[in-house]
Structure 1
Amino acid sequence: MIDATTTLTLTASDPHHFVVTIPRGNTAAVLISEHLGMGAGAAPEQILDRVMLARPRWTAIRAEVQRAFNARLKEHNLATGTWKVGETPVDRLLGKELCVLAWAVEKLEPEKIRIAVRNWLALRPEERWWLFGMTAIATGGLQDGDHGWRVALRYALGDVAQNELLKARLETRKLGEAGVNKTLGLFD
């Protein structure tokens, strides 16, 4: 997230950013939109609405996203931010990462949202950017939640916690070391 001071320098140097619009009250959905900045010539700014998240889903992810983003901002000696009612501008790279998580949880079973957040946190920023690019090009609009990459993100992030997969692999490896279920070790 970016504060008001950063917003001024952001719009002057890089007009491409995201905006998280949080309505008043606790029930209205949260909109995440991508602002592409000025087009060629005198064309107006282009805005793409990327995802509309039901308020309970937003509430389930917002604190962890804020914590992760603020930690990264601190690493670069930048001002941290908070989500506020109204419009919160977000740096373009952080906005891409936020969309990946929002797309994953938009139609995910509520009890699996924690798993999706944990798996999203386990991804490197570059991996999140790649996932955004692949998803946005084919299924990046508001009505695309049940198609292609959006469904893939839902399963990839929300199905099984990555640490559970790792735990299962370690247990299999221990069984192999104990003489049960021996492998050739070609891929260890």
Structure 2
Amino acid sequence: MAKKKALGFGYNPEESKHHFLLVTPKSSKEDVAVYERFEWDEESEEQHTGILETNLKVVLDRHKWNLIKDPLTASFNNRLKEKDITVGRFKTGHIPVERLLGKEMVLLMWAIEDSDPQLISTAIKNWSGLSREERWWLFTMANAITGHADDKRGWRKAIRFALTENPVDDLENNQGSILEMLYKNV
């Protein structure tokens, strides 16, 4: 059976127009940005159509992006392989990300956007310890009120504390209760 073709990470515009678009500038000194989009322009490679500031979810400095790019790639590609979909890679330019994978990516980016870079490995471990459904739920809760890139309060702040300061026991990979941590920091 042939692999299902997809753009970027699992995105198929024939199935849904809803997706996330990661914009990675060519200059390594520029930040990366993620937009939630509801349209796709078949004619445009750079996908400038539908990039609206109102749909800007997160801006992350390049150093922090480089620290999470490989774990995200591995996680997403493992899931895509399970579904027999072509794998993706993060590169410069405009990379579409399937809607649910995009929610998970933005959740991790929200957790580290204002954190000390030394806490990113803890955030990755805690993020990895969540089920995909838990990631989707946390994204939905934060997005409902603080979903724009500039809204760094409430649920967004709680997600940062829960994923960066919730200790993980490396020996047993045990994670404290994320919901308990969230409600304690809201």
Q: TM-score, normalised by structure 2?
A: 0.78
Q: Give distance in 1, aligned partners of 2:21 and 2:99.
A: 9
Does 1:22 pair with 2:29?
no
**Equivalent position of 2:184 in the other structure:** none
Which letter maps to 1:32? V
Query: Which structure is higher in helix share?
Result: 1
Check whether the contact 2:129–2:175 (CA below 8 A) recurs between aligned residues: no
**Equivalent position of 1:37 in the other structure:** 39
> 1:83-102 alignment to 2 at 5 Å?
83-102=90-109
**Equivalent position of 1:181 in the other structure:** none
Check whether the contact 2:77–2:87 (CA below 8 A) recurs between aligned residues: yes
From 55, 65, 68, the equivalent of 2:62 is: 55
Structure 1 residues 155 and 167: CA distance shift in structure 2, 3 A: closer
**Equivalent position of 1:112 in the other structure:** 119
Q: Give distance in 1, aligned partners of 2:50 and 2:90.
A: 24
- 1:11, distance to aligned residue in structure 2 (A): 1.4
From 135, 159, 165, the equivalent of 1:159 is: 165
Structure 1 residues 103 and 167: CA distance shift in structure 2, 3 A: closer
Report SS of the residue matched to 2:150. coil
**Equivalent position of 1:177 in the other structure:** none
Check whether the contact 1:116–1:161 (CA below 8 A) recurs between aligned residues: no
Does 1:75 pair with 2:74?
no
Check whether the contact 1:36–1:46 (CA below 8 A) recurs between aligned residues: no
- 1:77, distance to aligned residue in structure 2 (A): 0.8
Structure 1 gap segments, 5+ residues each: 39-43, 169-188
CA-atom RMSD, angstroms?
Answer: 2.2
Structure 2 gap segments, 5+ residues each: 41-48, 177-186
**Equivalent position of 1:185 in the other structure:** none
Structure 1 residues 117 and 6: CA distance shift in structure 2, 3 A: same
Runs of 4+ in 1 over 6 A off after TM superposition: none
Structure 1 residues 11 and 109: CA distance shift in structure 2, 3 A: same
> Which structure has the larger Rg over C-alpha atoms?
1
Q: Which moved more, 1:55-64 or 1:29-38?
A: 29-38
Which letter maps to 1:156? A
Check whether the contact 1:37–1:46 (CA below 8 A) recurs between aligned residues: no
